[in-house]
Amino acid sequence: MLVAWMELSSTALGKTKELIKHGRERIEQTIKASGSRLCSYAERVVFLMDRSRSPDKSSQPSTPTDNINLGPSANPNAKPTDFDFLKVIGKGSFGKVLLAKRKCDGTFYAVKVLHKKTILKKKEQNHIMAERNVLLKNVKHPFLVGLHYSFQTSEKLYFVLDYVNGGELFFHLQRERCFREPRARFYAAEVASAIGYLHSLNIIYRDLKPENILLDCQGHIVLTDFGLCKEGMEQEETTSTFCGTPEYLAPEVLKKQPYDRTVDWWCLGAVLYEMLFGLPPFYSRDVSQMYDNILHKPLQIQGTKTVAACDILQGLLHKDQKRRLGAKTDFLEIKNHVFFSPINWDDLYHKRITPPFNPNVAGPADLRHFDPEFTQEAISASITRTPELAASSSSASDAFLGFSYAPTEEDI
Protein backbone atom coordinates (compact mmCIF):
# COMPACT_ATOMS: atom_id res chain seq x y z
CA MET A 1 0.00 0.00 0.00
CA LEU A 2 1.17 3.56 -0.64
CA VAL A 3 1.85 5.80 2.30
CA ALA A 4 -0.51 8.75 2.77
CA TRP A 5 0.26 11.97 0.95
CA MET A 6 1.52 14.46 3.52
CA GLU A 7 0.61 18.10 3.81
CA LEU A 8 3.72 20.11 2.89
CA SER A 9 4.04 23.54 4.45
CA SER A 10 7.06 25.40 3.09
CA THR A 11 7.06 27.24 -0.23
CA ALA A 12 9.49 24.81 -1.83
CA LEU A 13 7.62 21.79 -0.61
CA GLY A 14 4.34 23.38 -1.64
CA LYS A 15 5.65 23.71 -5.17
CA THR A 16 6.68 20.06 -5.12
CA LYS A 17 3.28 19.03 -3.80
CA GLU A 18 1.57 20.86 -6.65
CA LEU A 19 3.89 19.17 -9.13
CA ILE A 20 3.22 15.72 -7.70
CA LYS A 21 -0.50 16.33 -7.23
CA HIS A 22 -0.86 17.21 -10.91
CA GLY A 23 0.22 13.73 -11.93
CA ARG A 24 -0.91 11.90 -8.81
CA GLU A 25 -2.98 9.22 -10.46
CA ARG A 26 -0.29 8.35 -12.98
CA ILE A 27 2.38 8.40 -10.29
CA GLU A 28 0.44 6.05 -8.06
CA GLN A 29 -0.09 3.66 -10.97
CA THR A 30 3.61 3.72 -11.77
CA ILE A 31 4.59 3.10 -8.14
CA LYS A 32 2.25 0.17 -7.87
CA ALA A 33 3.27 -1.30 -11.19
CA SER A 34 6.99 -1.02 -10.58
CA GLY A 35 7.06 -2.89 -7.28
CA SER A 36 8.24 0.06 -5.19
CA ARG A 37 10.33 -0.61 -2.10
CA LEU A 38 8.87 2.11 0.11
CA CYS A 39 9.78 0.57 3.44
CA SER A 40 12.12 1.11 6.38
CA TYR A 41 15.73 -0.08 6.36
CA ALA A 42 14.91 -2.90 8.76
CA GLU A 43 12.05 -4.09 6.58
CA ARG A 44 14.38 -4.26 3.59
CA VAL A 45 16.39 -7.02 5.27
CA VAL A 46 13.48 -9.31 4.41
CA PHE A 47 12.35 -10.10 0.86
CA LEU A 48 9.63 -7.78 -0.30
CA MET A 49 6.59 -9.63 -1.48
CA ASP A 50 5.27 -7.14 -4.00
CA ARG A 51 7.36 -7.54 -7.16
CA SER A 52 4.67 -6.78 -9.74
CA ARG A 53 5.70 -4.75 -12.74
CA SER A 54 3.94 -3.41 -15.77
CA PRO A 55 4.85 -1.01 -18.55
CA ASP A 56 4.22 2.67 -18.15
CA LYS A 57 0.59 3.73 -18.04
CA SER A 58 0.95 7.25 -19.30
CA SER A 59 2.38 6.94 -22.78
CA GLN A 60 0.31 7.50 -25.86
CA PRO A 61 -2.83 5.47 -25.23
CA SER A 62 -3.70 2.61 -27.48
CA THR A 63 -7.08 1.13 -28.09
CA PRO A 64 -8.06 -2.51 -28.50
CA THR A 65 -8.02 -1.95 -32.25
CA ASP A 66 -4.47 -0.55 -32.30
CA ASN A 67 -2.85 -3.64 -33.78
CA ILE A 68 0.87 -4.00 -34.40
CA ASN A 69 1.65 -6.22 -37.36
CA LEU A 70 5.21 -7.53 -37.32
CA GLY A 71 4.56 -10.33 -39.77
CA PRO A 72 2.98 -13.79 -39.71
CA SER A 73 1.50 -14.65 -36.34
CA ALA A 74 1.65 -18.43 -36.39
CA ASN A 75 4.81 -20.30 -35.34
CA PRO A 76 4.19 -24.00 -36.04
CA ASN A 77 7.60 -24.88 -34.64
CA ALA A 78 6.79 -24.09 -30.99
CA LYS A 79 4.00 -24.81 -28.53
CA PRO A 80 3.58 -25.10 -24.74
CA THR A 81 3.66 -28.90 -24.82
CA ASP A 82 7.26 -28.72 -26.05
CA PHE A 83 8.27 -27.96 -22.46
CA ASP A 84 8.19 -29.43 -19.00
CA PHE A 85 7.34 -26.46 -16.77
CA LEU A 86 9.16 -27.09 -13.49
CA LYS A 87 8.87 -24.09 -11.17
CA VAL A 88 7.52 -20.57 -10.95
CA ILE A 89 10.54 -18.27 -10.60
CA GLY A 90 8.91 -14.84 -10.96
CA LYS A 91 5.64 -12.97 -11.25
CA GLY A 92 4.47 -9.75 -12.88
CA SER A 93 1.35 -7.80 -13.71
CA PHE A 94 0.59 -9.78 -16.87
CA GLY A 95 1.74 -13.28 -15.97
CA LYS A 96 4.59 -15.39 -14.64
CA VAL A 97 8.12 -16.51 -15.40
CA LEU A 98 8.73 -20.24 -15.19
CA LEU A 99 11.75 -22.48 -15.25
CA ALA A 100 11.14 -24.86 -18.15
CA LYS A 101 13.04 -27.72 -19.73
CA ARG A 102 12.61 -28.30 -23.45
CA LYS A 103 11.66 -31.92 -23.97
CA CYS A 104 13.56 -32.49 -27.19
CA ASP A 105 17.03 -31.68 -25.83
CA GLY A 106 16.76 -31.03 -22.08
CA THR A 107 17.78 -27.37 -22.39
CA PHE A 108 16.66 -25.11 -19.55
CA TYR A 109 14.97 -21.78 -20.29
CA ALA A 110 13.12 -19.06 -18.44
CA VAL A 111 9.72 -18.87 -20.12
CA LYS A 112 7.73 -15.69 -19.57
CA VAL A 113 4.02 -16.43 -19.96
CA LEU A 114 1.65 -13.48 -20.38
CA HIS A 115 -2.14 -13.39 -20.46
CA LYS A 116 -3.52 -11.72 -23.59
CA LYS A 117 -6.79 -10.67 -21.95
CA THR A 118 -4.96 -8.81 -19.18
CA ILE A 119 -2.69 -7.04 -21.67
CA LEU A 120 -5.61 -6.00 -23.87
CA LYS A 121 -7.69 -4.88 -20.89
CA LYS A 122 -4.88 -2.56 -19.79
CA LYS A 123 -4.19 -1.54 -23.41
CA GLU A 124 -0.54 -2.50 -23.15
CA GLN A 125 -0.05 -4.50 -26.35
CA ASN A 126 2.22 -1.79 -27.79
CA HIS A 127 4.63 -2.18 -24.89
CA ILE A 128 4.67 -5.97 -25.07
CA MET A 129 5.59 -5.81 -28.74
CA ALA A 130 8.24 -3.19 -28.01
CA GLU A 131 9.70 -5.47 -25.33
CA ARG A 132 9.85 -8.28 -27.87
CA ASN A 133 11.70 -6.01 -30.32
CA VAL A 134 14.29 -5.08 -27.71
CA LEU A 135 14.76 -8.68 -26.62
CA LEU A 136 15.53 -9.68 -30.21
CA LYS A 137 18.46 -7.26 -30.23
CA ASN A 138 19.88 -8.37 -26.88
CA VAL A 139 21.41 -11.62 -28.11
CA LYS A 140 24.36 -9.59 -29.37
CA HIS A 141 25.46 -8.49 -25.89
CA PRO A 142 26.84 -10.59 -23.00
CA PHE A 143 25.07 -8.71 -20.20
CA LEU A 144 21.54 -8.58 -21.61
CA VAL A 145 19.05 -11.42 -21.34
CA GLY A 146 18.30 -12.75 -24.80
CA LEU A 147 15.19 -14.08 -26.52
CA HIS A 148 15.58 -17.52 -28.10
CA TYR A 149 12.12 -17.54 -29.62
CA SER A 150 8.53 -16.58 -28.92
CA PHE A 151 5.15 -18.07 -29.70
CA GLN A 152 1.51 -17.66 -28.79
CA THR A 153 -1.72 -19.52 -28.23
CA SER A 154 -5.22 -18.10 -28.31
CA GLU A 155 -4.88 -17.18 -24.64
CA LYS A 156 -1.23 -16.52 -23.91
CA LEU A 157 2.09 -15.15 -25.16
CA TYR A 158 5.33 -17.04 -24.49
CA PHE A 159 8.83 -15.52 -24.37
CA VAL A 160 11.53 -18.22 -24.31
CA LEU A 161 14.48 -16.50 -22.63
CA ASP A 162 17.97 -17.16 -21.30
CA TYR A 163 17.77 -18.85 -17.90
CA VAL A 164 20.07 -17.46 -15.21
CA ASN A 165 19.89 -18.56 -11.58
CA GLY A 166 22.46 -16.55 -9.64
CA GLY A 167 19.71 -14.39 -8.11
CA GLU A 168 18.68 -10.75 -8.36
CA LEU A 169 21.23 -8.16 -7.33
CA PHE A 170 18.48 -7.02 -4.96
CA PHE A 171 18.53 -10.47 -3.30
CA HIS A 172 22.26 -10.20 -2.60
CA LEU A 173 22.00 -6.60 -1.41
CA GLN A 174 19.27 -7.67 1.00
CA ARG A 175 21.55 -10.32 2.42
CA GLU A 176 24.76 -8.29 2.59
CA ARG A 177 23.31 -4.74 2.96
CA CYS A 178 26.08 -3.21 0.84
CA PHE A 179 29.10 -4.20 -1.25
CA ARG A 180 32.75 -3.25 -1.07
CA GLU A 181 33.86 -0.81 -3.73
CA PRO A 182 35.62 -3.28 -6.08
CA ARG A 183 32.53 -5.49 -6.22
CA ALA A 184 30.21 -2.52 -6.78
CA ARG A 185 32.55 -1.24 -9.52
CA PHE A 186 32.50 -4.61 -11.33
CA TYR A 187 28.69 -4.77 -11.35
CA ALA A 188 28.37 -1.10 -12.32
CA ALA A 189 30.80 -1.59 -15.21
CA GLU A 190 28.90 -4.57 -16.63
CA VAL A 191 25.59 -2.71 -16.26
CA ALA A 192 27.07 0.40 -17.91
CA SER A 193 28.29 -1.76 -20.80
CA ALA A 194 24.76 -3.12 -21.29
CA ILE A 195 23.16 0.33 -21.08
CA GLY A 196 25.75 1.75 -23.47
CA TYR A 197 24.90 -0.97 -25.98
CA LEU A 198 21.18 -0.24 -25.74
CA HIS A 199 21.92 3.45 -26.28
CA SER A 200 23.95 2.57 -29.37
CA LEU A 201 20.73 1.02 -30.73
CA ASN A 202 18.81 4.20 -29.83
CA ILE A 203 17.02 2.48 -26.94
CA ILE A 204 16.54 4.05 -23.50
CA TYR A 205 16.08 1.46 -20.75
CA ARG A 206 14.31 3.68 -18.15
CA ASP A 207 13.89 1.14 -15.32
CA LEU A 208 17.34 0.29 -14.00
CA LYS A 209 17.16 -1.04 -10.42
CA PRO A 210 18.62 -3.97 -8.45
CA GLU A 211 15.50 -6.10 -9.05
CA ASN A 212 16.10 -5.98 -12.82
CA ILE A 213 19.78 -6.96 -12.55
CA LEU A 214 20.39 -10.70 -12.34
CA LEU A 215 23.56 -12.70 -11.76
CA ASP A 216 24.34 -15.73 -13.90
CA CYS A 217 25.80 -18.93 -12.50
CA GLN A 218 29.32 -17.47 -12.65
CA GLY A 219 28.42 -14.11 -11.11
CA HIS A 220 28.22 -11.92 -14.23
CA ILE A 221 25.45 -9.36 -14.68
CA VAL A 222 22.40 -10.06 -16.83
CA LEU A 223 20.00 -7.15 -17.33
CA THR A 224 16.36 -8.13 -17.74
CA ASP A 225 12.80 -6.73 -17.92
CA PHE A 226 12.49 -4.43 -20.94
CA GLY A 227 8.86 -3.39 -20.58
CA LEU A 228 9.66 0.29 -20.12
CA CYS A 229 12.22 0.61 -22.92
CA LYS A 230 11.80 3.43 -25.41
CA GLU A 231 12.96 2.72 -28.96
CA GLY A 232 13.99 5.14 -31.68
CA MET A 233 15.75 7.60 -29.37
CA GLU A 234 18.46 9.35 -31.35
CA GLN A 235 21.34 11.04 -29.51
CA GLU A 236 19.66 14.44 -29.18
CA GLU A 237 16.07 13.20 -29.06
CA THR A 238 13.88 13.50 -25.97
CA THR A 239 10.70 11.92 -24.63
CA SER A 240 8.39 12.94 -21.79
CA THR A 241 6.56 9.78 -20.69
CA PHE A 242 6.29 9.54 -16.91
CA CYS A 243 7.51 6.05 -16.01
CA GLY A 244 10.00 4.20 -13.87
CA THR A 245 10.36 3.17 -10.24
CA PRO A 246 9.99 5.86 -7.53
CA GLU A 247 13.36 5.43 -5.80
CA TYR A 248 15.24 5.80 -9.08
CA LEU A 249 13.31 8.52 -10.92
CA ALA A 250 15.47 11.32 -12.28
CA PRO A 251 14.52 14.93 -11.43
CA GLU A 252 13.57 15.76 -15.02
CA VAL A 253 11.14 12.83 -15.10
CA LEU A 254 9.52 14.00 -11.86
CA LYS A 255 9.20 17.50 -13.29
CA LYS A 256 7.60 16.00 -16.42
CA GLN A 257 10.19 17.74 -18.53
CA PRO A 258 11.54 16.30 -21.79
CA TYR A 259 14.34 13.86 -20.96
CA ASP A 260 16.96 11.91 -22.87
CA ARG A 261 19.37 8.99 -22.43
CA THR A 262 20.90 10.53 -19.33
CA VAL A 263 17.99 9.20 -17.26
CA ASP A 264 19.72 5.81 -17.51
CA TRP A 265 22.97 7.26 -16.16
CA TRP A 266 21.05 8.80 -13.25
CA CYS A 267 19.65 5.34 -12.51
CA LEU A 268 23.13 3.83 -12.74
CA GLY A 269 24.27 6.37 -10.16
CA ALA A 270 21.34 5.48 -7.90
CA VAL A 271 22.10 1.75 -8.16
CA LEU A 272 25.82 2.30 -7.57
CA TYR A 273 25.00 4.44 -4.52
CA GLU A 274 22.71 1.71 -3.22
CA MET A 275 25.39 -0.94 -3.70
CA LEU A 276 27.86 1.16 -1.70
CA PHE A 277 25.55 2.47 1.03
CA GLY A 278 22.62 0.04 1.22
CA LEU A 279 19.81 2.45 0.29
CA PRO A 280 18.95 4.54 -2.78
CA PRO A 281 20.46 8.03 -2.57
CA PHE A 282 17.32 10.09 -1.80
CA TYR A 283 15.31 7.38 -0.11
CA SER A 284 12.42 8.16 2.22
CA ARG A 285 9.59 5.95 3.32
CA ASP A 286 7.23 8.82 2.52
CA VAL A 287 6.95 9.01 -1.24
CA SER A 288 6.24 12.74 -1.46
CA GLN A 289 9.23 13.46 0.78
CA MET A 290 11.40 11.22 -1.36
CA TYR A 291 10.33 13.07 -4.49
CA ASP A 292 11.19 16.36 -2.84
CA ASN A 293 14.59 14.93 -1.86
CA ILE A 294 15.25 13.95 -5.47
CA LEU A 295 14.30 17.42 -6.69
CA HIS A 296 15.93 19.59 -4.04
CA LYS A 297 18.13 17.77 -1.51
CA PRO A 298 21.90 17.81 -2.14
CA LEU A 299 23.51 14.39 -2.54
CA GLN A 300 24.95 13.20 0.76
CA ILE A 301 27.95 10.86 0.70
CA GLN A 302 28.99 9.57 4.09
CA GLY A 303 31.70 7.18 5.18
CA THR A 304 35.14 6.43 3.86
CA LYS A 305 34.68 6.13 0.12
CA THR A 306 37.42 6.87 -2.39
CA VAL A 307 37.58 10.23 -4.12
CA ALA A 308 36.84 8.48 -7.42
CA ALA A 309 33.68 6.87 -6.02
CA CYS A 310 32.44 10.18 -4.63
CA ASP A 311 33.17 11.95 -7.90
CA ILE A 312 31.33 9.49 -10.12
CA LEU A 313 28.31 9.53 -7.82
CA GLN A 314 28.24 13.31 -7.94
CA GLY A 315 28.53 13.17 -11.73
CA LEU A 316 25.88 10.52 -12.35
CA LEU A 317 23.45 11.98 -9.81
CA HIS A 318 23.71 15.59 -11.01
CA LYS A 319 20.19 17.04 -10.96
CA ASP A 320 20.80 18.96 -14.20
CA GLN A 321 20.66 16.41 -16.99
CA LYS A 322 22.74 18.63 -19.27
CA ARG A 323 25.60 18.60 -16.75
CA ARG A 324 25.25 14.96 -15.75
CA LEU A 325 28.04 12.50 -16.47
CA GLY A 326 27.21 10.95 -19.83
CA ALA A 327 25.43 14.03 -21.20
CA LYS A 328 28.16 14.80 -23.75
CA THR A 329 29.52 11.53 -25.12
CA ASP A 330 27.21 9.02 -23.40
CA PHE A 331 28.87 5.67 -22.47
CA LEU A 332 32.33 6.93 -23.45
CA GLU A 333 32.26 9.37 -20.53
CA ILE A 334 31.34 6.61 -18.14
CA LYS A 335 34.10 4.31 -19.41
CA ASN A 336 36.73 7.02 -19.11
CA HIS A 337 35.90 8.08 -15.55
CA VAL A 338 38.71 7.46 -13.07
CA PHE A 339 36.41 5.26 -10.96
CA PHE A 340 36.56 2.65 -13.72
CA SER A 341 40.33 2.96 -14.33
CA PRO A 342 40.95 -0.55 -12.87
CA ILE A 343 38.57 -2.00 -15.51
CA ASN A 344 39.87 -3.35 -18.82
CA TRP A 345 36.70 -2.89 -20.85
CA ASP A 346 37.63 -5.39 -23.55
CA ASP A 347 38.31 -8.07 -20.94
CA LEU A 348 35.08 -7.13 -19.19
CA TYR A 349 33.01 -7.50 -22.38
CA HIS A 350 34.51 -10.91 -23.16
CA LYS A 351 34.04 -12.07 -19.54
CA ARG A 352 37.75 -12.51 -18.98
CA ILE A 353 37.48 -10.82 -15.57
CA THR A 354 36.62 -13.21 -12.75
CA PRO A 355 33.49 -11.96 -10.94
CA PRO A 356 34.08 -10.90 -7.32
CA PHE A 357 31.27 -13.18 -6.12
CA ASN A 358 30.29 -16.69 -7.22
CA PRO A 359 26.66 -17.68 -6.58
CA ASN A 360 27.83 -21.32 -6.25
CA VAL A 361 24.77 -22.87 -7.86
CA ALA A 362 24.89 -26.64 -8.29
CA GLY A 363 23.16 -26.57 -11.69
CA PRO A 364 20.05 -25.32 -13.50
CA ALA A 365 17.72 -26.92 -10.97
CA ASP A 366 19.40 -25.10 -8.06
CA LEU A 367 16.86 -22.44 -7.05
CA ARG A 368 18.45 -21.26 -3.80
CA HIS A 369 18.61 -17.66 -5.05
CA PHE A 370 14.92 -17.44 -6.00
CA ASP A 371 12.20 -16.28 -3.65
CA PRO A 372 10.35 -19.29 -2.14
CA GLU A 373 7.16 -17.26 -2.53
CA PHE A 374 7.47 -18.03 -6.24
CA THR A 375 9.08 -21.46 -6.33
CA GLN A 376 6.55 -23.00 -3.95
CA GLU A 377 3.61 -21.88 -6.07
CA ALA A 378 1.74 -24.50 -8.06
CA ILE A 379 1.96 -24.26 -11.85
CA SER A 380 -1.39 -23.70 -13.53
CA ALA A 381 -2.47 -26.40 -15.95
CA SER A 382 -3.54 -23.72 -18.43
CA ILE A 383 0.11 -22.80 -19.04
CA THR A 384 0.81 -26.18 -20.60
CA ARG A 385 -2.29 -26.27 -22.81
CA THR A 386 -1.99 -25.66 -26.54
CA PRO A 387 -5.37 -24.36 -27.74
CA GLU A 388 -5.70 -23.60 -31.42
CA LEU A 389 -4.66 -20.05 -32.33
CA ALA A 390 -7.64 -19.84 -34.66
CA ALA A 391 -9.93 -20.24 -31.65
CA SER A 392 -8.83 -16.82 -30.42
CA SER A 393 -11.12 -13.85 -30.53
CA SER A 394 -10.33 -11.49 -33.38
CA SER A 395 -9.11 -8.73 -31.05
CA ALA A 396 -6.71 -11.02 -29.21
CA SER A 397 -5.27 -12.59 -32.33
CA ASP A 398 -4.99 -9.38 -34.35
CA ALA A 399 -3.42 -7.42 -31.52
CA PHE A 400 -0.32 -9.62 -31.48
CA LEU A 401 0.34 -10.24 -35.16
CA GLY A 402 4.00 -11.09 -35.62
CA PHE A 403 4.69 -11.76 -31.95
CA SER A 404 5.92 -15.25 -32.73
CA TYR A 405 9.61 -15.47 -33.61
CA ALA A 406 12.04 -18.25 -34.49
CA PRO A 407 15.72 -17.51 -35.18
CA THR A 408 17.19 -17.98 -38.64
CA GLU A 409 20.48 -19.76 -39.23
CA GLU A 410 22.16 -16.34 -39.39
CA ASP A 411 20.81 -15.46 -35.93
CA ILE A 412 22.18 -18.71 -34.52
Residue set of the binding site for ATP = 121
Cα distance between residue 168 and residue 171, in whole Å:
5
Instruction: Return the closest-CA partner of residue 152 out of 95, 222, 228.
Output: 95
Length of the chain as a residue count: 412
Three-point CA angle 192, 194, 197, nearest 5°: 105
* Positive or negative: CA dihedral 77, 79, 84, 87: positive
Residues contacting 344, CB < 8 A, separation 6+? 352, 353
How far is the first Cα of the chain from the last one, in angstroms, to the nearest whole number? 45
Question: Quick check: is 264 catalytic?
Answer: no
* Identity of the residue numbered 331: F
Residues contacting 135, CB < 8 A, separation 6+? 145, 146, 147, 159, 161, 226
CA distances 237 to 82, 246, 257, 332, Å, are 43, 24, 13, 18
CA distances 191 to 142, 195, 271, 334, 385, Å, are 10, 6, 10, 11, 37
* Identity of the residue numbered 156: K
Cα distance between residue 322 and residue 250, in whole Å:
12
* Identity of the residue numbered 322: K
Cα distance between residue 109 and residue 116, in whole Å:
21
* Positive or negative: CA dihedral 310, 313, 317, 318: positive
Given a contact cutoff of 8 angstroms between Cβ atoms, the answer to whether 248 and 270 are in contact is yes
The strands making up 83-91's β-sheet, listed across from edge to edge, are: 83-91, 95-102, 108-115, 156-161, 147-152
Within 10 A of 128 (CB to CB), how many other CB atoms are there? 22
SS3 30: helix
Annotated catalytic residue within 207, 260, 330, 371: 207
Given a contact cutoff of 8 angstroms between Cβ atoms, the answer to whether 143 and 192 are in contact is no
Give the active site residues.
Answer: 207
